[in-house]
């Protein structure tokens, strides 16, 4: 059986951040980097916009401003992003403030989906050149931290330390790893919302501020804005609830032709309390309900129909009242009000009305609401050492799947934090 000083599961930003930090500090280290996909499948691969400001992407249970600032500086100095200029937003910030809404001031970079792929390829090649051993297209099935052994669909290998960073889509796998290794966890938080697609000229703020972050009352926020060459997409989930989809969005880089559309998510964070403590189970139930009502597809509805309290029909997406076609046309025209829990819908709609006052035009009748957009990244392991996200001897959990991040830069920072802990643990042996 091959032995590695460190095995990293997942080549998302958490895994990559840890790998580079480890190799920089200990150039000769033997490092396995395993991913079930050929390319990291999260935000690096989809739109790849990076936020370099507290608190965007940093769960406040695990981070404070000074710690995040320290790691963000390291992430930025490694990635050398081209920070986009942000101008002309004072008027929006002022309007927002009067409504009790906050517009965060953020430093951002945007590579686009094509730019992200090029970055992933460059990073993995760079890691190989530094002596890491990436193995893509290999799925990890189980991890036994006490014995220092992990099993994949191709082999068994032993390790001195392991970082499990399987992202949001690896949420259930991570839960299996935690159960098998006696790591207690809760997953009581989930984000539920809609993705809004509209003509870019009705959300002109995106010309000055690529991914504007508005924070509304009732834990509602805008998230993951895409423009210029923007598309709504769906992510497939397959679990006990069967197959269900969550919508998402991405954009191509500035090199591709613009399609005149923008999209962004409006999400509400829900923290569940006893007796229903699993956000994952709740997300599954909501996803299954949306599939039931959408005939196996997410639901889309024009704002004009939503305002009148009636479902959208196929004609709402072809008739002359509406002036752009949906980019995720496979969704079922319907009534999202039947699928979204009332409390969530109220909070989202109030936030949308506020946003329409801040940036007038977003609630044009032709604007499309897609449902569901669900983020189930809130596994909360009980760490033995919070500073390094060590959950058991030799076992580290980080990134969106472990709830230590909610974005590319914070996931990268989480990986670096793990690397610092691993170096300390290895140094003691």
Ligand X SMILES: Cc1cc2nc3c(=O)[nH]c(=O)nc-3n(C[C@H](O)[C@H](O)[C@H](O)COP(=O)(O)OP(=O)(O)OC[C@H]3O[C@@H](n4cnc5c(N)ncnc54)[C@H](O)[C@@H]3O)c2cc1C
Interface with ligand X (CB under 6 A) = 9-15, 34-37, 40-44, 46-51, 57, 139-140, 165-170, 173, 224, 235, 248, 250, 399-401, 405-408, 411
Q: Say how far apart CA 401 and CA 405 lie, in whole Å.
A: 8
Element (H, E) at 13: helix 13-25
Helix (H) or strand (E) holding 306: helix 303-308
Find tokens 């025209």 and name the residue. 333
How near is the Cβ of 273 to ligand X at its closest, in Å? 26
By beta-carbon proximity to ligand X, the closer residue of 47 and 200 is 47
Contact 192, 223 (CB under 8 A): no
DSSP notation for 204-236: GGGGTSSS-EEEETTTEEEEEEE-SSEEEEEEE
- Give me the least distance between CB of 375 and ligand X, in Å please: 9
User: In angstroms, what is the minimal distance from the CB of 224 to ligand X?
Assistant: 5
Task: Give the single-character DSSP code of 83.
Answer: P
C-beta closer to ligand X: residue 153 or 201: 153
Q: Shortest approach of ligand X to residue 177 CB, angstroms?
A: 9
Terminal alpha carbon distance of the chain: 21
Cα 344 to the chain's mean position, in Å?
A: 20
Look at phi and psi of residue 251 and say left if phi exceeds 0, alpha if psi is from -120 to 50, else beta: beta
CB of 152 to ligand X, least distance (A): 7
Comparing CB distances to ligand X, the nearer of 167 and 326 is: 167
Helices (H) and strands (E) in the chain, counts: 9, 22
For ligand X, the closer CB: 372 or 401: 401
Nearest alpha carbon to residue 124 among 210, 206, 11, 209: 11
Nearer to ligand X (CB atom), residue 215 or residue 338 = 215
Residue 345: partners with Cβ closer than 8 Å, 6 or more residues away: 336, 337
Cis peptide before 372 (omega within 30 of 0): yes
Pairing state between β 220-226 and 213-216 = antiparallel
Which residue, 170 or 333, has its beta carbon nearer to ligand X?
A: 170
**Six token digits for residue 427:** 């140094």
Q: Residue 59 or residue 337: which is nearer to ligand X going by CB?
A: 59
104 in helix, strand or coil? strand
Pairing between β-strand 230-239 and β-strand 395-397 as defined by DSSP bridges: unpaired
Q: How far is the CB of 311 from ligand X (least distance, A)?
A: 27
Question: CB of residue 314 vs ligand X: minimum separation in angstroms?
Answer: 27
Torsion angles phi and psi, residue 380, rounded to 5: -120, 90
**Least distance in angstroms from the C-beta of 195 to ligand X:** 11
Instruction: Name the minimum Å distance from CB 79 to ligand X.
Output: 12
Judged by CB, which is closer to ligand X: 59, or 399?
A: 399
Task: Give the integer Cα–Cα distance in Å for 366 and 208.
Answer: 23
Q: Which is nearer to ligand X, 264 or 306 (CB)?
A: 264
Task: Write the CB contacts of 188 (distance below 8 Å, at least 6 apart in sequence).
Answer: 271, 272, 273, 277, 278, 279, 378, 380
Least separation, in Å, of the C-beta of 116 and ligand X? 8
């Amino acid at each position: 059986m091959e032995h590695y000083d460190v095995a990293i599961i997942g080549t998302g930003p958490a895994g990559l951040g840890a790998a580079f930090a480890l190799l920089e500090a200990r150039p000769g280290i033997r490092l396995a980097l395993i991913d079930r996909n050929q390319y990291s499948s999260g935000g690096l691969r989809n739109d790849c916009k990076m936020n370099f400001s507290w608190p965007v992407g940093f769960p406040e249970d695990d981070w404070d401003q000074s710690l995040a600032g320290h790691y963000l500086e390291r992430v930025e100095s490694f990635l050398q992003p081209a920070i986009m200029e942000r101008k002309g937003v004072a008027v929006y910030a002022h309007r927002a403030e009067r409504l009790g809404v906050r517009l965060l001031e953020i430093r951002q970079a945007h590579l686009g989906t094509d730019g992200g792929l090029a970055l992933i390829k460059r990073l993995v090649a760079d890691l190989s050149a530094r002596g890491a051993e990436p193995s893509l297209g290999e799925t990890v099935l189980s991890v036994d931290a006490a014995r220092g052994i992990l099993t994949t669909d191709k082999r068994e290998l032993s390790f001195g330390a392991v970082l499990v960073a399987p992202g949001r889509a690896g949420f259930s796998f991570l839960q299996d790893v935690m159960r098998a290794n006696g790591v207690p966890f809760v997953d009581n938080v989930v984000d539920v919302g809609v993705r809004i697609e509209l003509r870019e000229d009705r959300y002109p703020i995106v010309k000055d501020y690529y991914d504007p972050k508005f924070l509304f009352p009732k834990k509602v926020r805008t998230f993951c804005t895409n423009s210029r060459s923007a598309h709504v997409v769906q992510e497939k989930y397959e679990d006990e609830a069967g197959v269900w989809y969550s919508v998402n969005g991405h954009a191509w880089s500035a090199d591709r032709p613009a399609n005149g559309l923008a999209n962004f998510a409006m999400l509400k964070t829900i923290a569940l309390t006893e007796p229903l403590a699993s956000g994952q189970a709740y997300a599954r139930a909501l996803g299954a309900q949306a599939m039931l009502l959408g005939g196996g597809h997410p639901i889309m509805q024009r704002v004009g129909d939503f305002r009148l309290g009636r479902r959208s029909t196929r004609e709402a997406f072809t008739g002359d009242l509406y002036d752009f076609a949906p980019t995720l046309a496979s969704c079922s025209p319907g009534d999202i009000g039947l699928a979204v829990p009332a409390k969530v819908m109220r909070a989202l709609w109030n936030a949308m009305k506020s946003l329409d006052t801040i940036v007038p035009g977003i609630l044009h009748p032709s604007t499309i609401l897609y449902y569901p957009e669900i983020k189930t990244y809130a596994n909360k392991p009980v760490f033995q050492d919070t500073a390094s996200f060590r959950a058991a001897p030799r076992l580290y959990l980080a990134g969106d799947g472990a709830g230590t991040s909610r974005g590319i830069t914070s996931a990268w920072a989480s990986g670096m934090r793990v690397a610092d802990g691993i170096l300390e643990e290895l140094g003691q042996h």
